[in-house]
A and B are shown apart, each in its own frame.
Chain A
């Protein structure tokens, strides 16, 4: 079955620690995205990548980093510089980044930092 996997579903970390959220897709999509959801807000774009070895900051990139070494994988690292890291994180992908292709989403990772 083609799809997007994110692991783990729930993640707990102590403040000051970096943590990496995984995102893998087997849809052969070129573009991948990371979003964050907070209560009462729409999904906000953290980073996106249109092609391997290339990525761009979204609207709320501060305190996050990404890599795109393989087409299938787009891991997100939440660094200690992110002031409010506790949130629900969604990874998505689309055939291309042109905006007219459907975005498929993974199941999400809920990160809690205490």
Chain B
């Protein structure tokens, strides 16, 4: 079973601040990494699925990078807005054949104050 660590556990920023969080995972047998955003009282929403070392993906003000050799991914939010307040989950998966199970970290809780 993968050991997934996300840091920090929680983060409080002011509106307009840029911020980033980290997801660490064992690099051996890496297959893919998922990022989800989970707002209170809503379903988790898929942000990115990343597979290639050095990959960078972007969706609006949110971007993510991936380093499979050292086993980490960063999620960046530029100019945080109150609507970005959510828990951000990462979930890597090792190659396991036809079905690759996601192992979720405990998440980073972001609170953006207006």
Interface residue ranges, A against B (CB under 8 Å): 4, 31, 35, 40-45, 48, 50, 56, 58-59, 90, 92, 97-108
> A45-B101, A97-B98, A99-B102 are known contacts. Are A106 and B107 too (CB-CB below 8 A)?
no
**B residues within 8 A CB of A43?**
89, 91, 104
CA distance A40 to B105 in the complex (A): 10
How many positions in chain B have a CB within 8 Å of any CB in the partner chain? 28
CA distance A113 to B78 in the complex (A): 42
CA distance A13 to B34 in the complex (A): 34
| B43 adjacent to A107 (CB under 8 Å) | yes
Main secondary structure of the interface of A (DSSP, over half): loop
> A100-B49, A103-B46, A108-B43 are known contacts. Are A42 and B104 too (CB-CB below 8 A)?
yes
**Complex partner residue of A105 from B43, B51, B95, B103, CB under 8 angstroms:** B43
**A residues within 8 A CB of B1?**
59
Main secondary structure of the interface of B (DSSP, over half): loop
Candidate in A4, A99, A108 with the most chain B CB atoms within 10 angstroms: A99
**A residues within 8 A CB of B49?**
100-102
CA distance A100 to B51 in the complex (A): 7
Total A-B residue contacts, Cβ distance less than 8 Å:
68
| B106 adjacent to A41 (CB under 8 Å) | yes
B93 at the interface (CB under 8 A from A): yes
**B residues within 8 A CB of A108?**
43
CA distance A97 to B49 in the complex (A): 13
**A residues within 8 A CB of B43?**
4, 90, 104-108
| A103 adjacent to B34 (CB under 8 Å) | yes
**A residues within 8 A CB of B100?**
97-100
> A42-B4, A103-B34, A105-B44 are known contacts. Are A56 and B99 too (CB-CB below 8 A)?
yes
| B106 adjacent to A103 (CB under 8 Å) | no
| A31 adjacent to B99 (CB under 8 Å) | yes
